[in-house]
């Protein structure tokens, strides 16, 4: 019961729901998510921490970047994404996010080594 409660609380924010929807499409770094959502990187990081703590997403290092993706084998991640997809595929904000993520290029968005 506690695990479900944590998942539901993590999904109680529109930005976190949008993040899940984006990660359903591909792995993304913080700067790519900030670009798509139109919010600051620290804000994205706080949302990602809540989703990670709830077991909905996982991370992997990729050179300079940390990639975020849906937690493999997570029954809750799969279930929530199925519901979110069913309910939100036609939602205007989600459509804009999915179009914008195609333009998210970490090589151009992210600052490397202070540059």
CA pair distance 49, 66, nearest whole angstrom: 13
Strands (E), 18-113: 57-62, 65-70
Please say if the pLDDT value at position 44 is more than 80: yes
**pLDDT class for 54, splitting at 50, 70, 90?**
very high
What does the pLDDT average to over 14-40? 95
CA pair distance 36, 21, nearest whole angstrom: 12
Q: How high is the mean pLDDT of the chain?
A: 89
pTM of the model: 0.88
What does the pLDDT average to over 69-86? 82
Taking the domains of the chain in order of start, what are their residue ranges? 2-98
Q: Give pLDDT, residue 115.
A: 39
What does the pLDDT average to over 31-59? 96
Please say if the pLDDT value at position 114 is more than 50: no
Report which of residues 17 and 112 the model is more confident about.
Answer: 17
Q: What CATH architecture does domain 2-98 belong to?
A: Orthogonal Bundle (1.10)
Report which of residues 77 and 9 the model is more confident about.
Answer: 9
CA pair distance 89, 32, nearest whole angstrom: 20
3-state secondary structure at position 57: strand
3-state secondary structure at position 49: helix
3-state secondary structure at position 114: coil
Please say if the pLDDT value at position 10 is more than 80: yes
CA pair distance 74, 62, nearest whole angstrom: 22
């Amino acid at each position: 019961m506690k695990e479900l409660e944590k998942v539901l609380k993590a999904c109680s924010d529109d930005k976190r729901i949008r993040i899940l929807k984006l990660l359903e499409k591909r792995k993304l770094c913080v700067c790519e998510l900030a670009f798509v959502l139109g919010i600051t990187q620290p804000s994205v990081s706080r949302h990602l921490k809540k989703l990670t703590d709830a077991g909905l997403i996982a991370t992997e290092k990729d050179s300079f970047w940390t990639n975020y993706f849906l937690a493999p084998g997570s029954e809750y991640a799969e279930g929530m994404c199925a519901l979110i997809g069913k309910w939100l595929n036609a939602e205007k904000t989600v459509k804009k996010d999915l179009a914008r993520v195609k333009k998210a290029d970490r090589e151009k968005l992210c600052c490397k080594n202070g540059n």
